[in-house]
Structure 1
Amino acid sequence: MTTADLTDLARDYLQTWADPDPARRRTAIDELWAPDGRLVISPIGLVVEGVDAIDAHTTRVHDENIDGRGMSFTYDQHAEAGDAALLRWSMRAPDGTAVGRGVDVVFRDEDGRVRTVYMFMGVD
């Protein structure tokens, strides 16, 4: 994965959570994720499987946290190793204060589509 590829992945993955338009978020999910992709969320032990369920989950998070509370998500760091990318993020209040942090470890398939994401919330 080149630096440009990693930057594109980070941008596109963030769009699946943060884009204000639900249709664009869904299009981004369909383009980025493998159809049978898996999102595994720690510490809550939630496993979300398939693009329809991933879309429903990201929509709920967007509606509750971004639209509902005015939060935003930013990346603090990203790195890659082979087919894996590490995306360290912060959830920020409207005043810019970080109110949550986490790390997403993204694995892509041979076609470059996201097949599995392990999300670790509460990481400083």
Structure 2
Amino acid sequence: MTAETLAEFGHAYLESFTEPDAELRRAKIEKLWSADGRMVSNDLTVQGVDNIAAHVAHIHEQYLVGHGLTFAYDQHSEAGEALLLRWSMLTPDGNTAARGVDVVFRDANGQITTVYAFMGIN
């Protein structure tokens, strides 16, 4: 994957969490994820587009709506079929409220099969 393609993927992946319109957010998730994709975080595993969309909606409501927080990627890297995307949750004044790393695996069609999400990373 070229650096530009990696950056484009990272942007699309980030939008799947930050898109304010629930239907558009769901469409982005359906485009990015394989039907049986799996997201594993520190304390939760969700599988399938329906469950992933519900989890992302929960994240969106809990951290973005009405809080003024935004997400941004500040580092990305590739190793074989794995993509590392380090993100920061930023306050309206630009301070970092939280940081994490998502390690993303995709199939031959470019759809996400598995994401390992690590929160609380510096």
Q: TM-score, normalised by structure 2?
A: 0.96
Distance 1:122 1:19 in 2: 23
Q: Does 1:55 align with 2:53?
A: yes
Q: Which is further off, 16-25 or 31-40?
A: 16-25
The 3-state SS of whatever aligns with 1:34 is strand
Cα deviation 1:63-103 (Å, max 9, x = unaligned): 11100322100001001112111000001112211010000
Deviation of the 1:4 alpha carbon: 2.1
Q: Superposition pairs for residues 53-92 of structure 1, below 5 Å?
A: 53-92=51-90
Distance 1:15 1:58 in 2: 11
Structure 1: tracts of 5 or more residues without a match: none
Q: How many residues align?
A: 122
Distance 1:6 1:29 in 2: 17
Percent of residue pairs bearing the same amino acid type: 50
Cα deviation 1:34-73 (Å, max 9, x = unaligned): 000000001xx20010000010011111111100322100
CA RMSD of aligned residues (A): 0.9
Distance 1:68 1:58 in 2: 16
The 3-state SS of whatever aligns with 1:75 is strand
Tell me which amino acid in the other structure corresponds to 1:10.
G
Deviation of the 1:105 alpha carbon: 0.3
Q: TM-score, normalised by structure 1?
A: 0.95
User: Counterpart in 1 of 2:94?
Assistant: 96
